[in-house]
Amino acid sequence: MLTATGITASYGRREVLHGVNFDATAGQVTAIVGPNGSGKTTLMRALTGENVFDGVVFLNDQDVASAKPWQLAAVRGVLPQSTPLAFPFTVVEVVRLGLASGLTAGRGHLIPAALDRVGLTGFEGRFYQELSGGEQQRVQLARVLVQVWEPVADGSPRWLFLDEPVSALDIGHQLQVMQIARDFANAGGGVVTVMHDLNLTAMFADNVGLISEGHMVAQGAPEDVFTDQQLSHAYGCKVRVNTAPASGTFLLPHAATMAAE
């Protein structure tokens, strides 16, 4: 269980989160959506313990603000939006960095498994810096996966925190990565992911938090949060929520109406 209560975050004098509450349950994919600059990434930083702001965050009953880095690393992995790398590591060497926490000795056999999972078998000896942005993102996902390979271990769930995991990916790899998140949750782990693509969110998430101008506007099941009014208001453009017979909710922005206004 992840609970964040009253998160108020400021950079300098500018307050970017105003007392946000947010919950996520293991076994579910929980998405955070909202327009650019609404505070999604800042909320993610609070949830992962990267920054400590006002308010409290508990992950598996552990206070994130006072936990040691290695204690958090044992229960959750974090995929940043993009990860520049300082030195010429190969793909295998980058993934192995995920095993560096010391709690994961003797798990080298996970490296090929993780690369297979993200569809990068055959890339082992390539240099990270020579890969495309999308490939780099999947290498990083493999690194995060080896860190928290078992969705449930010692009776408590492991967590994946993904910050816009599919923004750099083509549609096929978007589905592949979202399916990895889905499978992790189905196996009992927790997934918290910042998303831009609302259709993918509707397709894969069990629970969505909609954030706008530093406020959590709504949190709940996608069909409850994704309403024409709430989305149009949050994103500042007209949006219509539809239902496809086969796959459930999908959305269309009203480009024509925007142009007319």
Partner 1 sequence: MTVLTQNPARPHLAGDRSRIATNMTFVLVVLLVLASLFSLAIGAAGTSLWQGLSDLAMGRDLSLRDRVVLFDIRLPRTVMGILVGAALAVSGAVMQGLFRNPLADPGIVGVSAGAAFGAIVAIVLGGYLPAAIAASLGYYVVPAAAFVGSWVSTIILYRVSTRKGRTSVATMLLAGIALGSLTGAFSGVLIYIADDAQLRTLTFWGMGSVAGATWSKVLAALPLIAIALGVAPFLARGLNGLALGEAAASHMGISVQRTKNTAILTVAGATGAAVAVSGGIGFVGIVVPHLLRLMTGPDHRFLLINSALLGAALLLVADVISRTVIAPAELPIGIVTATIGGPFFFWVLLRQRGILDM
Say which amino acid occupies 194.
Answer: V
Give CA–CA dist 138/238, Å, rounded: 33
| Binding characters for partner 1, 191-210, by CB under 8 A (x = yes) | --------------------
Tokens of 11: 């950079």
Among residues 43, 38, 41, 37, the alpha carbon closest in space to that of 21 is found at 43
Q: 61 or 87, CB closer to partner 1?
A: 87
- 131 in contact with partner 1 (CB under 8 A): no
Alpha-carbon distance values, 251 to 99, 121, 167, 223 (Å): 40, 35, 18, 11
- 4 in contact with partner 1 (CB under 8 A): no
- 50 in contact with partner 1 (CB under 8 A): yes
Q: Residues 192, 160: contact at Cβ < 8 Å? A: yes
- Sorted by sequence, the CB contacts under 8 Å of residue 44 that are 6+ apart come out as 32, 50, 161, 163, 192, 194
Q: How far is the CB of 229 from partner 1 (least distance, A)?
A: 36
- 108 in contact with partner 1 (CB under 8 A): yes
Beta strand 54-59 with 62-63 is antiparallel
Q: How far is the CB of 96 from partner 1 (least distance, A)?
A: 8
Q: 161 or 235, CB closer to partner 1?
A: 161
Tokens of 12: 């300098």
Among residues 13, 28, 20, 57, the alpha carbon closest in space to that of 159 is found at 28
Q: 66 or 87, CB closer to partner 1?
A: 87
Q: 103 or 187, CB closer to partner 1?
A: 103
Q: How many residues bind partner 1 (CB under 8 A)?
A: 41
Q: Which range of residues in 14-22, 52-60, 86-94, 232-240 is near partner 1 by CB under 8 A? A: 86-94
Report the site for partner 1 in 54-73 (rule: CB under 8 A).
68-70, 72-73
Give CA–CA dist 80/133, Å, rounded: 13
- 78 in contact with partner 1 (CB under 8 A): yes
Q: How far is the CB of 83 from partner 1 (least distance, A)?
A: 6
Instruction: Give the count of alpha carbons within 13 A of 207, CB side only.
Output: 16
Tokens of 60: 């598996």
- 74 in contact with partner 1 (CB under 8 A): yes
Alpha-carbon distance values, 13 to 9, 16, 53 (Å): 10, 9, 13
Give CA–CA dist 103/87, Å, rounded: 25
- 176 in contact with partner 1 (CB under 8 A): no
Q: 31 or 72, CB closer to partner 1?
A: 72
Q: How far is the CB of 129 from partner 1 (least distance, A)?
A: 7
- 126 in contact with partner 1 (CB under 8 A): yes
Positions touching partner 1 (CB under 8 A) are: 48-50, 68-70, 72-74, 76-78, 80, 83-94, 96-98, 100-103, 108-109, 111-112, 124-126, 129, 147
